[in-house]
Amino acid sequence: MAGELKLKLLLGGKAKQVAVNRVTVSVAPTSLHPLPVDVRVFEEDTHLVLTVDPVMRFTEEHPIRLLNSLSQGKSKRPGSVVINGSSWYAVVHNLDAEPTSRLDWIKTAYGEIFRQAEVRRVRRIAVPLLGSVHGNMKPWESLELMLEEIAAARFLLLRNIIILAAPAQVKTIKARLFRSVQ
């Protein structure tokens, strides 16, 4: 027919993720459970006390003896990642220093997270914006550092990175993410 219209269906709605260096990056609230990931990263300090359960548990060991053993423990290197199964701890704070966190520690930790993800054959990982969970770094500054490390990395297996943000910040972080990669 001569006057026939050719219609094309356009998918609408807002984008939910972006591609950076062949990896899908999205933002989700920290309250999302269960997370559809193989590994979840937590922001931690050199003595691994920031993510300790705040509820006091009964222990046979006397509290003073327990504190002494904690204080004599070897501290972790800032910028390193402590791996415990599917829970990884990015050491980006030193509570004995002022300021407690530095940009180079955060950048190094992001690099180590993505390096370990490849070594350990991780496909999906959830990462908070390091330095902004327990520190005073602006979330968008940490986002820029993370995106730089994603762009610089060599990914063969990692396919999805979920950026974890406080529920009230998800919309803002998502907008920054989309602006950053366009």
User: What whole-number distance in Å separates Cα of residue 6 and Cα of residue 148?
Assistant: 43
User: What whole-number distance in Å separates Cα of residue 94 and Cα of residue 176?
Assistant: 28
Domain assignment present for 3: no
For tokens 């204080």, name the residue.
Answer: 71
Domain assignment present for 2: no
Structure confidence by residue, pLDDT tens digits, 106-164: 999 999 999 999 999 999 999 999 999 998 899 999 999 999 999 999 999 999 999 99
User: What whole-number distance in Å separates Cα of residue 90 and Cα of residue 45?
Assistant: 8
Specify whether the CB–CB gap between 89 and 82 falls below 8 A.
Answer: yes
Domain assignment present for 5: no
pLDDT at 11: 44
Q: Record the pTM.
A: 0.82
pLDDT at 2 over 70: no
User: What whole-number distance in Å separates Cα of residue 44 and Cα of residue 91?
Assistant: 5
Domain assignment present for 143: yes
Query: What is the pLDDT confidence band of residue 27, given thresholds at 50, 70 and 90?
Result: very high
Domain assignment present for 58: no
- 3-class secondary structure, 12: coil
- Cα-only R_g, the chain: 20
Find the CATH number of the domain harbouring 36: 3.40.220.10
- Residue 119 is part of which domain span? 18-51+63-181
pLDDT at 9: 47
Average pLDDT rounded to a whole number, residues 22-31: 94
pLDDT at 87: 93
Query: What is the pLDDT confidence band of residue 34, given thresholds at 50, 70 and 90?
Result: confident
Q: Which of 12-26, 30-44, 87-101 has the lowest mean pLDDT?
A: 12-26
Non-local (6+) Cβ contacts of 24 within 8 A are: 17, 18, 159, 160, 161
pLDDT at 12 over 50: no
Domain assignment present for 8: no
Structure confidence by residue, pLDDT tens digits, 59-69: 566 666 766 66
Tell me, what DSSP letter sits at residue 169? G
Structure confidence by residue, pLDDT tens digits, 73-99: 688 999 999 999 999 999 999 988 888
HSE (CB half, 13 Å, CA atoms) of 107?
Answer: 9
The domain total for the chain is 1
Domain assignment present for 103: yes
Nearest residue to 21 (alpha-carbon basis) of 168, 164, 148? 148
Domain assignment present for 135: yes
